Amino acid sequence: MNIGEKIRMLRTSKLMTQSELAGSEITRNMLSRIENGAAQPSLDTLRYLAKKLNVSPGFLLAEGGDEQIYLKHNEMRDIKTAYLMGNFRICRDMCVNSESGEDDEVQLILAECTLEIAIEEFSKGNLRVACEYFDKAIDACAGTIYNTSHISSRAATYFKYMRNLSATLSSNSVDETDIPAWSAFSDAFSVYAEAFLALSGNGEIYAYPSDQSIYGMHIAAIKAIKEEQYEKAYECLHKILVSDDIAPEPMMYFVFSDMEIASKQTGDFKGAYEYSISKMEILQKLLS
């Protein structure tokens, strides 16, 4: 790739017109000739164009392997900035379209930001979309030599939680039950989900969410129901409903389910009916 081709590639990737790049330093016609290989830029013009395109002059002059090093450096700066700012969808698009797409670091960040998008969709209750992104995150893990067990483990935990809603909400990439949960325990929801799954199947709980969090309150409510302490369960569940923290939509299905049980067992049959309706409305949305 010659200097002109690089300039045109960078300009179009930044959605800049020739006039915008040329500015007041050079004419648009001269820039067009440079991009087409009909003219070579002077040293001052080269420095100006490199600054406007946010690359080093060395990148525009580099050839072969050195060119790839400069290209990756420039792309990675933008990719990392998008990731650190939480712009995960933009970051993912940049990774997918990267000239260094097969690079281990690019694949790692691709897996990380795809997982974050999956969790966002899960929290909003878009579970079919969430499943697609969880699978894409797991698939991206195979493209890097870096340790990605925390990504596949978290994705598997979310899949196992969703299977309590419907068997159709499962991975197409892996058997989620084969992936150990340990690496997911740095994530608050994953800790809660594993405790929830253990209580649902009478398994052993290896880690507990914070007692004061909405996750800890739900685990306490489930344990209270198992012990037939329905008033205590109701109190814990009510704290979740009035909390400033917003629970993921799938979790609210189980909260309303438990509220229905606690209300019925404490004689609040009207409340039990209302929570039953709310539960079914959420489930209909989650499975749509």
In this model, does residue 68 exceed pLDDT 80?
no
Chain segment 23-49, per-residue pLDDT in tens: 989 999 999 999 999 999 999 999 999
pTM attached to this predicted model: 0.77
- In sequence order, which ranges of the chain are alpha helices (DSSP H)? 3-13, 18-22, 28-35, 43-52, 57-61, 64-84, 88-96, 104-124, 127-141, 149-162, 188-200, 214-226, 230-242, 249-265, 269-286
Over range 223-251, report the average pLDDT: 96
- pLDDT band, residue 72 (cuts 50/70/90): low
Rounded distance, CA 110 to CA 88, Å? 9
